[in-house]
C-alpha cells in the first residue's frame, strides 16, 4: 500500500476559486485524496515548476478534493497560477492526523493553516461545542469564515476572526484570544495549524493548563516520505512522525517554535 | 551463547552491522541519536561539501515501480564547518562523516573541521560531478581518486572509506586505485543513474532530469559488485543498495561485506527497519550456529 | 482518423512499435508467427553464434524482488547456419537476426548464412565476452566494435543495429564508435550484470554465479540511456529494458526511442502483453491527438 | 501472485522412499505445492547441481507434497541423491492442468509420467469407472501400482501393468493395450503422461475415435515461465501453454511425437 501512495498520479484541476487576492482553492477529482484524514497532506508536483507539500482541502462534492494555496515563493506561485484544465501530479496522502476529542473543542488556524481545520470540522459530532479562531493580518486575508460557520450550523459554535490590524473582527494576535479562552474555560481538545509562533503559543497556553492540544507542523519538505531529512524538528521528522504532534511531545522539543532548517539544512531562528 | 551482532570493518568496530546510508535523514544530531537507539550500528552523514549547498529544486525524489526511488536532491547539505559544529556534542553515536568535493584540498580542509568531533570514519563520496571533465564523476578519474585518497589519509588517522558506484568508468578500476592509495574500506554501491518521464505532461519528472536509482531494483547489482570486489581484493567492504530485509543483509555478508548500509528501506518501513533487520540476522545466526558476523562473511565464494 | 502504430527505425519499417527482445522465446519460426499475430511489430532472434552453443546448466534464471529477472542462459543457440535454414520459409514475420561473436569475421560468416532469408535487420549483440581481454565484453573494446560494425556494413545492405549495455566501458563511447563506423540504429540496453545468493544454502543461485538483470528494475536506467543517446546523437533508437505497460513504452518514445523491445514482461503477462501495450499506446495517441508514433518521439527533451 | 510463484522457496526433504532401484520419492512440507492441480509442475533447484522441472507428486499427509524422480542424467541424479534433512529450492507451481471428465476414464502413465496421474486420481469422483495403465520396461521398474489400486479402492476400477519384456503384468507396449481398450469401449476422458511416443500413440488412438484425450508434454525447460523458449513444440510453449494439451490441438502440431529440441535449441528426431 505504502508503495502505491508514493506513485505520482496526474489529476486535472477542474475548478479554481479565488479566496483572497493571494489565496486560491484548486479542485480536482481523486477518491483517495477526498478521503484523507485531517492533517494529512500530499506532495504536489507542478510540472516544470516544483513540487511542494499541501494539506488536502475538503470539497463539497464526493470523490473530489482540493488544495488551498497562498501565493508566496516560486513553488506556491506556480501552483497558484494553475488554470482550470491544467494537470498537476500528486502523491500521498502522507502523515498522521489529528486525534479528535469530543465535547468542547477549540480550533486555531492561521492562513492556509485553516485547511486541515476545515477537514477536522467535517469530522466533529453534532453535539460538540466548537470554537474556531481564524487569525489573519488584515481583512483582505480572511477566508473560510463562512465555510466554517456553514459547516457548524447544526452545532453549538462560535467562529471568531481576529486581525492584527483590527480591520476585521477582533483586533490583535489570535494567540492572545487563545490565552483568554483557555483561561476562561476548559477545552477537551485544542487544535492548531498555522504560523509556527501561533502554534507555539497555542500549545503553551493549552498545555500549561493540562489541556489536550495538538499542532500540525510545517517544515521544508523534499521527499515527504522520511528519507531526505529536510523536515526534521529535533529528533522528529515532520513528514513521517507528524505532521500532527501532541502538546506533550512538542513541549520537550527544543526546536519547535524557535528554529527551522533552510534548504541547505542549516538551523535558522524564526 | 547468544550470537553477537558486533562486526568490524578493518579498524572500525560496530555494535551492529546495519548502518544508515549517506543522504538519508542524516542532518541532525538528535535524529542520529534516535537512529542509533533504534538499532542502526552507525550513521553516515549527508555528503558534506566545503560550503553549504541548497541542492536542486523539487521534485527531487520519485518512486518507481518495483519498490525503488530515483533521487536528485543535489547533495544539499549545510557544509562541513556548520555540520562539524552541530555534531561536536556527540559522545555516543558512531558517526561516519561522508565528504564530497572536486579537488583533493577540499577533503583536507573538511577533515580538519572535524578534529574535535567523535567520528569513527570518513566516507569519500566519489560520485561528485567532475569539475574539469564534463559528464564524468570524480570516481571516473583515477588520478584524482589517487590524490583524494592520499590527501585524506595524510590528514587524519581515522579510517577512510571510499564509496564507489557505477560511473562511466569501471568501478573495479576505482576500487583498485583507492586500495593502491591506502584506503581502509570500500562502500559499494552508490545509486545508479536513471530517469523517469511523466507521460501526461511529457517531461522528465525530477527537476534535474536525471537522478540516482536506489532501493530494491539495484540490490542484485550491488550484490554482484560486493562479490566481485571481495573476490579480487582483501579489503573490508560495506554493502549498500536495496537492503530492506534481513535476507538482503545476509546475502551481502555471504558475498563478502562486513557490514551493510541502507537508505531507501527507511522510506518504506520507517526507522523500525533497523531493529527488524537486526532481529532477523540474530535469528539466522542462531539457526546456523554462528557466534559472530565474521562467521558468514564471504561464505558464498566458497561454493 | 485512427492513429497509426507504424513506425520507422531509420530504414526499418514496422507496423507496430513493440518488438520482442532477443533471447526471449526466439527459437522457432512457428513461435515467431504466433508472436507476430499476437501484436509484436517484429521479433528479434536469440543471439546466434557461428556454432551451436548449449549455454549454461540450470539454474539459468531467477526471479528477484521488484518484478525483475536475473538470467544466465549463456547465449544458448542452435548456431547461425542451423537457424538460417529454419527461418528460410518465412515470408510474413519481420525478423531481426541477433548475432554474437568475438571476432569481426564471425559476423561476416553469419550474415552470409541469411542471404536467402527475409530479414529486416541484424542486431549486433556487443555484450559477448571478449576472447582476448578477460572480464571485458566485445562492446568494451572500441577498436573491435569499429571492426565488427564495418565488416557487417560491408557484408550486407540490410540495416545493422548495435545493441549496447552497461559494460565496463561507458556505453556512450560504444555508441559513438558504432555511429562513426556507420551503424544504422542503436538498441539500448541489454541486461545489467547482477547476482543473487541463497541465504539458506549460502551459494550464488545461478550456475554461472553472475547473470543479467532485466525487467522492471532496469527500466529507469534504460530510459536514461535512451534519453542520453538521443540528446547527443541523431540516430534511430530502440528502447529496451523493463517495458511492461503502455506507459513504459510511451516513456521510451518521449525519451527519443522510435520503437521498443520487451522480454521479461512476457514472463509475467505472457504473450498478450503485445496487444495490451499496442492498445494502450493507441488510446494514448487518440487522447493526445497524434497520428503517428513519430509525433511523440523525443518530446521529453523539449521541456 | 504470478511474481510470488516465481520466487524460490527453500524446503527440507523430510522423507525419501525408494520406489525402484532408480526411482525415489522425496517428501517435503509446502502448502502451495500440496494443493497443485494434476499436471502442474515445479522448477526444482538442487543447490550446486542444477535445476529441473518436476511434476508435483501427492503425499498422504496434508500440507505436504513430493517429487518422484528417476535417476538419469546429472540433474535428476542430483535430485535422486538428496538425503533426508537436505534442502532444495522450489518455484512454481507452473503450467495448466488436466480437465477431468466424469464417467469412464482411462489414465495412461509410463515411468515418472505416473506422477500427474496419481494426482489426477486424487480428484476422481467415487462414481467414476477408472482404468489405469502402467507401462514399464520390466518388472523392476514398476511402481505406484499399489498406490493406484489403493486410491481407487472405492471406485469401479482396473489397474493394468504392462511390461515390454513381459516380466510382470501383460507383455508388450502399453500403447497396444490403449488401442485395444479404446477400440472395445468408449471413454469419457483419456489422459496420458510418459514417454512422448507413448503419449503420441495414445492421443492418436483416442482422438481418431473422437474421444476426449489430453497429454502432459515434457520438453527441455530452462525457465519454466515462458521466457527462454527452450520448451517449444511447434508454436506452443510447454511450460506456459501446457504442459497439458488436448488431443485436438496436438493432432495439428507437427513436432509432437516426432521432434524435440536439444540444449542448443536444435530440432532433433525422437
Ligand atoms: C505539511 C505541509 C502542508 C502545507 N500545506 C499548505 C497549504 O495547504 N497551503 C499553502 O499555501 N501552503 C502549505 N504549505 C506550505 C507550502 O508547502 C510552501 O512551503 C509555501 O507555500 C512556501 O513555498 P514556496 O516554495 O512558494 O516559497 P519559497 O520562496 O520557495 O520558500 C519560502 C519559504 O518557504 C519554505 N519552503 C520552501 N519550500 C518548502 C517546502 N517544500 N516545504 C516547506 N517549506 C518550504 C522555505 O523555508 C522558504 O524559506 C504546507 C507545508 C507543509 C510542510
Ligand atoms: C513438466 C515436466 C515434468 C517432469 N516431471 C518429472 C518427474 O516427475 N520425475 C522425473 O523423474 N522427471 C520428470 N521430468 C523430467 C526431468 O525434468 C528431466 O528432464 C529428466 O530427469 C532428465 O534430466 P537430467 O538432467 O537428469 O538428464 P540429462 O542427462 O541432463 O539430460 C537427459 C535428457 O533429458 C533432457 N533434459 C535435460 N534437462 C531437461 C530439462 N530441464 N527439462 C526437460 N528435459 C530435459 C535432455 O533433452 C536430455 O537429452 C519432467 C520434465 C518436465 C518437462
Ligand atoms: C534521498 C537520497 C539522498 C542520498 N544522498 C547521498 C549522499 O549525499 N551521499 C552519498 O554518498 N549517497 C547518497 N545517497 C545514496 C545512498 O547513500 C545509497 O548509496 C543508495 O541509496 C543505495 O542504498 P539504498 O538502496 O539502501 O537506498 C542518497 C540516496 C537517497 C535515496
Ligand atoms: C532469458 C533471457 C535471455 C536473453 N538473451 C539475450 C540474447 O541472446 N541476446 C541479447 O542481445 N539479449 C538477450 N537478453 C536481453 C534482452 O534482449 C533484453 O535486452 C533485456 O532482457 C531487457 O529487456 P526486458 O527488461 O524487457 O527483459 C536476454 C534476456 C533474458 C531475460
Ligand atoms: S520531507 Fe524528507 S524526511 Fe521529511
Ligand atoms: S521453459 Fe522457458 S519458455 Fe518454457
**Percent of chain A scored above 70 by pLDDT?**
99
Domain made up of C7-301: CATH architecture: Alpha-Beta Barrel (3.20)
Phi, psi of D246 (to 5 degrees): -75, 155
Subunit contact C60:D10, Cβ cutoff 8 A: no
pLDDT in tens, D154-211: 999 999 999 999 999 999 999 999 999 999 999 999 999 999 999 999 999 999 999 9
Active site residue C128: yes
SS (H, E, C) chain A: CHHHHHCCEEEECCEEEEEECCEEEEEEECHHHHCCCCCCEEEEEECCCEEEEEECECCCCCCEEEEEEECCCHHHHHHHCCCCCCEEEEEEEECCCCCCCCCEEEEEEEHHHHHHHHHHHCCCCCCCEEEEEEEECCHHHCCCHHHHHHHCCCCCEEEEEEECCCCCEEECCHHHHHHHHHHHCCCCEEEEECCHHHHHHHHHHHHCCCCCEEEECCCCCCCCCCCCCCCEECCEEHHHHCCEEEHHHHHCCCCCCCEEECCCCCEEEC
Residue C12 burial (CB count, 10 A):
22
What mean pLDDT is predicted for residues D232-239? 95
D119 lines ligand 2 (CB under 6 A): no
Q: Scanning the structure block, which residue is given the C-alpha cell 497396444?
A: D176
Please give the pLDDT value at position D2: 36
| Any B CB within 8 A of C133 CB | no
Please give the pLDDT value at position A3: 39
Q: DSSP string of chain D? A: -HHHHHS-EEEE--EEEEEETTEEEEEEE-HHHHTPPTT-EEEEEETTTEEEEEEPBP-SSTTEEEEEEE--SHHHHHHHTPPTT-EEEEEEEES------SSEEEEEEEGGGHHHHHHHHTT--TT-EEEEEEEESSGGG--SHHHHHHHTTTSSEEEEEEETTSSSBEES-HHHHHHHHHHHS--SEEEEESSHHHHHHHHHHHHTTT--EEEE-----SSSSSSS-TTEETTEEHHHH-SEEEHHHHHT-SSTTTEEE-TT--EEE-
Subunit contact A87:B200, Cβ cutoff 8 A: yes
Tell me which H or E stretch contains C143: helix C142-155
ipTM of the complex: 0.95
Subunit contact C27:D230, Cβ cutoff 8 A: yes
Q: Which residues of B touch C251 (CB under 8 A)?
A: 196-197, 199
pLDDT in tens, C280-293: 999 999 999 999 99
CATH topology of domain D104-269: Rossmann fold (3.40.50)
Chains in contact with B, counting 3 or more C-beta pairs less than 8 Å apart as contact? A, C
Please give the pLDDT value at position C53: 93
pLDDT in tens, A226-236: 999 999 999 99
pLDDT in tens, D55-83: 999 999 999 999 999 999 999 999 999 99
Q: How far is the CA of A36 from the centre of ligand 1 (A)?
A: 20
Question: Binding site for substrate: which residues of B?
Answer: 46, 71-75, 125, 190-191
Domain extents in chain A: 9-94, 104-269
A193 is in an annotated binding site: no
- Residue among C73, C201, C267 whose CB faces D226 most closely: C267
Please give the pLDDT value at position B91: 93
pLDDT in tens, A120-139: 999 999 999 999 999 999 99
- The average confidence (pLDDT) of chain D is 94
What mean pLDDT is predicted for residues D72-99? 96
- The average confidence (pLDDT) of chain C is 95
- Residue among C67, C194, C296 whose CB faces B224 most closely: C194
B75 lines ligand 3 (CB under 6 A): yes
CA distance, residue C117 to nearest chain D CA (Å): 18
Please give the pLDDT value at position C26: 77
In chain B, which residues have pLDDT < 70? 303
What mean pLDDT is predicted for residues C49-74? 94
What mean pLDDT is predicted for residues D231-244? 96
pLDDT in tens, A1-40: 333 789 999 999 999 999 999 999 999 999 999 999 999 9
Chains in contact with D, counting 3 or more C-beta pairs less than 8 Å apart as contact? C
For residue D1, pLDDT beyond 80:
no
In chain A, which residues have pLDDT < 70? 1-3
For residue D3, pLDDT beyond 70:
no
Please give the pLDDT value at position B96: 98
pLDDT in tens, B194-219: 999 999 999 999 999 999 999 999 99
Predicted TM-score (pTM) of the model is 0.96
Counting ligand 5 atoms within 8 A of each CB, the residue from A42, A44, A51, A221 with the most, and so the one to mutate, is A221
CA–CA separation, D136 and D138 (whole Å): 6
pLDDT in tens, D181-195: 999 999 999 999 999
User: D9-94: which CATH number, 1.20.1260.10, 1.10.287.130, 2.60.120.10, 2.40.30.10?
Assistant: 2.40.30.10
Amino acid at each position: 500500500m505504502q508503495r502505491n501512495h508514493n506513485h505520482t498520479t496526474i489529476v486535472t484541476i477542474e475548478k479554481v476559486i479565488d479566496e483572497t487576492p493571494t489565496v486560491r482553492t484548486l479542485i480536482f477529482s481523486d477518491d483517495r485524496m477526498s478521503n484523507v484524514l485531517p492533517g494529512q497532506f500530499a506532495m504536489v508536483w507542478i510540472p516544470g515548476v516544483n513540487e511542494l507539500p499541501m494539506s488536502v482541502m475538503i470539497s463539497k462534492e464526493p470523490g473530489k478534493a482540493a488544495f488551498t494555496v497562498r501565493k508566496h515563493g516560486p513553488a506556491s506561485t506556480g501552483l497558484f497560477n494553475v488554470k482550470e484544465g491544467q494537470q498537476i501530479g500528486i502523491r500521498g496522502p502522507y502523515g498522521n492526523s489529528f486525534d479528535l476529542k469530543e465535547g468542547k473543542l477549540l480550533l486555531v488556524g492561521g492562513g492556509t493553516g485553516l485547511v486541515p481545520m476545515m477537514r477536522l470540522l467535517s469530522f466533529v459530532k453534532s453535539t460538540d461545542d466548537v470554537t474556531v479562531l481564524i487569525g489573519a493580518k488584515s481583512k483582505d486575508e480572511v477566508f473560510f469564515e463562512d465555510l466554517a460557520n456553514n459547516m457548524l450550523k447544526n452545532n453549538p459554535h462560535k467562529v471568531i476572526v481576529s486581525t492584527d490590524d483590527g480591520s476585521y473582527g477582533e483586533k490583535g494576535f489570535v494567540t492572545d484570544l487563545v490565552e483568554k479562552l483557555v483561561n476562561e474555560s476548559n477545552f477537551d481538545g485544542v487544535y492548531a495549524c498555522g504560523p509556527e509562533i501561533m502554534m507555539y503559543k497555542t500549545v503553551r497556553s493549552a498545555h500549561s493548563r493540562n489541556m489536550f492540544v495538538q499542532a500540525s507542523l510545517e517544515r521544508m519538505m523534499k521527499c515527504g516520505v522520511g528519507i531526505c531529512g529536510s523536515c526534521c524538528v529535533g529528533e522528529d521528522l515532520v513528514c513521517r512522525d507528524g505532521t500532527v504532534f501532541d502538546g506533550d511531545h512538542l513541549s520537550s522539543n527544543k526546536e519547535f517554535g524557535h528554529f527551522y532548517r533552510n534548504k541547505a539544512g542549516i538551523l535558522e531562528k524564526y | 551463547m547468544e550470537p553477537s551482532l558486533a562486526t568490524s570493518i578493518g579498524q572500525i568496530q560496530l555494535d551492529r552491522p546495519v548502518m544508515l546510508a549517506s543522504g538519508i535523514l542524516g542532518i541532525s544530531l538528535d535524529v542520529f541519536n534516535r537512529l542509533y537507539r533504534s538499532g542502526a550500528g552507525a550513521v553516515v552523514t549527508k555528503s558534506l561539501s566545503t560550503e553549504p549547498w541548497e541542492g536542486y529544486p523539487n521534485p527531487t525524489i520519485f518512486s518507481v515501480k518495483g519498490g525503488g526511488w530515483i533521487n536528485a536532491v543535489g547533495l544539499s547539505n549545510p557544509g562541513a564547518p556548520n555540520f562539524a559544529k552541530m555534531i561536536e556534542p556527540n559522545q555516543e553515536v558512531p558517526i561516519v562523516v561522508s565528504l564530497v568535493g572536486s579537488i583533493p584540498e577540499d577533503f583536507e580542509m573538511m577533515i580538519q573541521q572535524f578534529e574535535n568531533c567523535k567520528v569513527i570514519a570518513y566516507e569519500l563520496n566519489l560520485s561528485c560531478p567532475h569539475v574539469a571533465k564534463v559528464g564524468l564523476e570524480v570516481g571516473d578519474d583515477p588520478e584524482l581518486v589517487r590524490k583524494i585518497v592520499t590527501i585524506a589519509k595524510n590528514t587524519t588517522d581515522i579510517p577512510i572509506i571510499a564509496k564507489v558506484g557505477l560511473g562511466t568508468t569501471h568501478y573495479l578500476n576505482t576500487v583498485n586505485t583507492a586500495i593502491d592509495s591506502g584506503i581502509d574500506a570500500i562502500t559499494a554501491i552508490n545509486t545508479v543513474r536513471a530517469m523517469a518521464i511523466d507521460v501526461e505532461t511529457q517531461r522528465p519528472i525530477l527537476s534535474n532530469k536525471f537522478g540516482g536509482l536506489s532501493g530494491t531494483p539495484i540490490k542484485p547489482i550491488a550484490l554482484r559488485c560486493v562479490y566481485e570486489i571481495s573476490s579480487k581484493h582483501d579489503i573490508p567492504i560495506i554493502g549498500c543498495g536495496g537492503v530492506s530485509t534481513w535476507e538482503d543483509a545476509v546475502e551481502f555478508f555471504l558475498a563478502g561485506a562486513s557490514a551493510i548500509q541502507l537508505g531507501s528501506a527507511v522510506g518504506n518501513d520507517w526507522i523500525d527497519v533497523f531493529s527488524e533487520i537486526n532481529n532477523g540476522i540474530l535469528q539466522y545466526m542462531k539457526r546456523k550456529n554462528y557466534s559472530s558476523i565474521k562467521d558468514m562473511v564471504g561464505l558464498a565464494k566458497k561454493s
